[in-house]
Amino acid sequence: MKGGGEIPLPDARTPPPGRGSRPTRLWDVVVIGNDLPGLVAAALLAKRGLRILHVDHGAPHDRHTSGGFRLQSLPMPSPLPRASRSLHAVAEELGVLPMIGRSMAPFPGGLQILLPSARIALPPSADARAAELARAFGAAGPGLAREVERLRALADRAAGLFEDAPPLPASGLLERWKASRFIGRATGELGPVAGGSPLLLAIASLHRLSSRLEGGPSALDFSRATAPWLFEPARPPDGGFVSMLRASIRGHRGDTLGEPDAPERIEEVSIERGRFAGIRLEGQGAIHRGRIGLVACPLGAIAPLIAAPRLRAALERFDERLPAERHVATWNFVLSEEAIPPGLGELAAVAGDDGEVTLLEREPARDEDGRIASGLVAVKASRIAADEVEAKRRVDAALEEAMPFHERHLRHQARAPSRQAVHRAPDGRAPATLPIRSPVSRLLVGNAAILPGFGLEGTFLAGGRIAALAAEAVARVKL
C-alpha cells in the first residue's frame, strides 16, 4: 500500500476521533507526542496522501496558559529558512514557506551576550560585530572578531559538505557505517572550534543549549545547530513550529487530538503478535488502529503503556542508549515594561559562573485570548539544569543581572511545562543518533533523541528521513 484514499474533512457528520467517539477507519500512521522530528514526518506524510492520526499525549505545545497569560512553553530562537536548508525544504513541500517568511522576523539587533566584564551584541553585519567587539574588548577585539567570523564561516563550509552526505539519521548497519565515516571526515575538514575567552565559552554554552548535547562543540554540529541562529536569530513562526505542523496535518486531512489546555492521554499502546496495532485513549474502550506507530516523545513515556513485560523492558533499554542527566529548564516571567533597562535586547544570553548561560527571550505579554496586554512584557528564561532548585536560583540571578530590581515589577511567574533532555553521546562524538526502528515491530522512533547535536536543523533533517522510512514501512504492511 502506498498511502490511502481521501478522508472526509471533520464536520457535523464525521466528528474527529476524540473522547467519546469510536474509530471508524484504519490510519496509516499513528503519531504519539509533540517532538518535532515526528511532527515533521507526520505533516510530510499527510501532505503525501497517507492517513495520519496525531495524539499529543500531554506533551507540551508551543504555548501554555498560566495566571491569565498565554506564555511560551518551548525555548530557543530559530534560524531563518534561508539559513536552514532542511527547514526550507520541509516548509516548501508543505506549502507554508510564504507564511514562514512573513512571520519569522529576526530579533532586532541580534543576540546580546552579558559577560561579567562586558555586554556585547552580535548584530547580523560582520562590520558591526567587529566594531562592537573592539568597543567591548579593546586591543583583544580584532582577534575575537576574527575568531567569531571563523565560526560564522563554518555554516557555509558545512553546507557544502552536506551536499554529498549519506542519509541522516542512519538506518541499518551500512547506513550507520557511512554516516560515521562522513561525520569523521567532515569534522576533520572543518577543523576544531577553538578559543577559551569568556565570549567563546559563552557561545559554547549556547551550543549545548541549542544542540541538546553535552560536551564541547565540534565544528560540524556547531555549524548545523548554533551558527544558523547565532548570527541572525529569528522568532519561530506565528504560534510556533508545533502549532504550524499540527495545522499542516489537519490541512491535509489528517486528525490531531489534544490542545494546550486540554491534552489527550493514551491509556494503552496496543501490541498484537509482537507488533504495534494501535492506541486506546483514556476513557475509551475501542482501539484506534494504525499500520505503523511513530513515537514523537521520550520512549520512557510510552513504555509503561505496553502490557507485554518483555517489549516494555526492551523499549526502556533502548531509551537508555543515549543517556540524559540534565535538561533544559524554562520559566516564564510577566513584568511591567519599566523592568526593562535601556539597551537590553530582546534576545540576551547571561553567562553564569557555572559555565552555562541563561537565555532570555522577550516579547509583549498576551492574555489568554492572545491579545497584547498593555504595559507588560513576557520574558522566557531557559538554561541547562540537573537540579530544578539550583536552576531556578541561577535563572533569578541572571534576571537580576540583566534587569536589576526586576522583582518589584514582577506580575506573574510560572515554570513552563517543557523539559527537554540534554543528551550525552556514548562515544563522545556528535551527532549522536538512535536507530529509527524501535525494538517493537512496526513502531518507529521520531523523538528528539533521534538526531541530537544538530539542533533545529537536525529536527527537520530527521523529520524528512523518518517520513521516507515510515512510508516504506506502511507500504509493506498487509491489511
Q: How far apart are CA 399 and CA 379, in angstroms?
A: 9
| Max Cα-Cα span within the chain | 73
Residue 215 zone, left/alpha/beta (φ > 0; ψ -120 to 50; rest): left
Count CB-CB contacts under 10 A for residue 262: 10
Residue type at 50? L
- Helix, strand, coil tally for the chain in percent (to 5): 40, 25, 35
pLDDT digits (tens, 9 = 90+) for 423-464: 887 665 666 677 899 999 999 999 998 888 899 999 999 999
Q: Is it true that the peptide bond before 169 is cis, omega within 30 degrees of 0?
A: yes
Task: Give me the torsion for CA of 432, 211, 214, 107, rounded to 10°.
Answer: 170
Q: In 3D, which of 282, 235, 341, 291 has the Cα closest to residue 45?
A: 291
Cell reading at 438: 524501535
Cell reading at 22: 469510536
Q: How far apart are CA 270 and CA 27, in angstroms?
A: 14
3-class secondary structure for 81-117?
HHHCHHHHHHHHHHCCHHHHHHHCCECCCCEEEECCC
Q: How far apart are CA 98 and CA 106, in angstroms?
A: 16
Residues forming beta bridges with residue 234, ordered by sequence position: 78, 106
> What pTM, to 2 d.p., does this model score?
0.92
Please give the DSSP secondary-structure letter assigned to residue 437.
B
CATH class of the structural domain 27-66+238-322+425-476: alpha beta
pLDDT digits (tens, 9 = 90+) for 268-305: 999 999 999 999 999 888 899 999 999 999 999 999 99
Q: What residues of the chain score a pLDDT lower than 50? A: 1-16, 18-24
Dihedral angle sign, alpha carbons of residues 230, 232, 237, 238? positive
Q: How far apart are CA 395 and CA 389, in angstroms?
A: 10
**Phi then psi for 265, rounded to 5 degrees?**
-110, 145
- Domain ranges for the chain, please list them: 27-66+238-322+425-476, 324-423
- Residue-level pLDDT at 76: 83
Cell reading at 88: 526550507
To 10 degrees, what angle do helices 455-476 and 198-211 make? 20
Cα separations in angstroms, 331 against 212, 304, 416: 17, 29, 5
Please give the DSSP secondary-structure letter assigned to residue 332.
E
Length of the chain: 479
CATH class of the structural domain 324-423: alpha beta
Pairing of strands 69-72, 63-66: antiparallel
Q: In 3D, which of 113, 115, 116, 110 has the Cα closest to residue 128?
A: 110
- Residue-level pLDDT at 430: 60
What's the first-to-final CA gap in the chain, in angstroms?
9
Cα separations in angstroms, 9 against 51, 198, 267, 304: 12, 55, 26, 33
- Residue-level pLDDT at 479: 56
Q: In 3D, which of 204, 225, 113, 196 has the Cα closest to residue 122?
A: 113
Cell reading at 374: 498593555
Q: Is 426 helix (H, G, I), strand (E, B) or coil?
A: coil
CB-CB contact of 38 with 462 (8 Å)? no
- Residue-level pLDDT at 5: 31
